[in-house]
Amino acid sequence: MIIRTATKEDMDQLIRMRWDFTFEDDVDGNLKNEKYDDFYDECMEFLLDAFESGNWYIWVAEENGLLVSNMYIELIHKVPRPGRITYPFAYMTNVYTKPDFRGKGIGSRLISKINEWAKENRYEFIIVWPSDEGVDFYKKHGYQHCKEPMENMFCE
């Protein structure tokens, strides 16, 4: 198992994983009329921008050339402040492991590598909004609940 950051050569697999992740949770069939080609184009554009921006790091677990798990990290740069060095923080999203590879410690290896990388790069913290099912996984890896942020919802 190789744990690494994704490259542009991984985009087709990353797009398919995002599609599968989304449809796995679509138990009511609300997305049954979605077209993969339309999604593919939108996601490809996002990934190209992400790779070029330098603000996104997509971590993957690979086995024999097949991506089996991914975690996306976006760096959020803060406004500098007098009297201290300002480091970015990270937002973790799109955490997914293919069903046949779950329960084998792959997610744990991936998040451990990300936590190590974040410490080495002095990122201030990582935030994640886990599903109810994911809370214990994150707690096991040092994450803890913090005060809820405020939000202003503009879209449903």
Phi and psi torsions of 21, nearest 5°: -60, -45
The CATH number linked to 24 is 3.40.630.30
pLDDT digits (tens, 9 = 90+) for 25-54: 877 877 788 889 999 999 999 999 999 999
For residue 154, is it within any domain?
A: no
Q: Give the mean pLDDT of the chain.
A: 91
Q: What is the DSSP letter of 99?
A: G
pLDDT digits (tens, 9 = 90+) for 49-99: 999 999 999 999 999 999 999 999 999 998 988 988 888 999 999 999 999
For residue 152, is it within any domain?
A: no
Q: Is 141's pLDDT higher than 70?
A: yes
- Of 88, 90, 91, 98, residue with least CA distance to 60: 98
Q: Which residues face 84 on adjacent strands?
A: 81
Q: What's residue 156's pLDDT?
A: 61
**Residue 151 — very low, low, confident or very high, per pLDDT cuts 50/70/90?**
confident
Domain range enclosing 127: 2-140
Four-residue CA torsion sign, 16, 105, 130, 93: negative
Q: What is the DSSP letter of 82?
A: T
Pick from 16-20, 35-39, 73-77, 148-152: least confident: 148-152
- Within 8 A by CB and 6+ apart from 110, the residues are 3, 59, 60, 61, 69, 70, 71
Q: Which residues face 127 on adjacent strands?
A: 91
Q: Is 4's pLDDT higher than 90?
A: yes
For residue 151, is it within any domain?
A: no
For residue 124, is it within any domain?
A: yes
Count of structural domains, the chain: 1
Phi and psi torsions of 57, nearest 5°: -130, 120
pLDDT digits (tens, 9 = 90+) for 73-85: 999 998 988 988 8
Cα 144 off chain centre by: 18
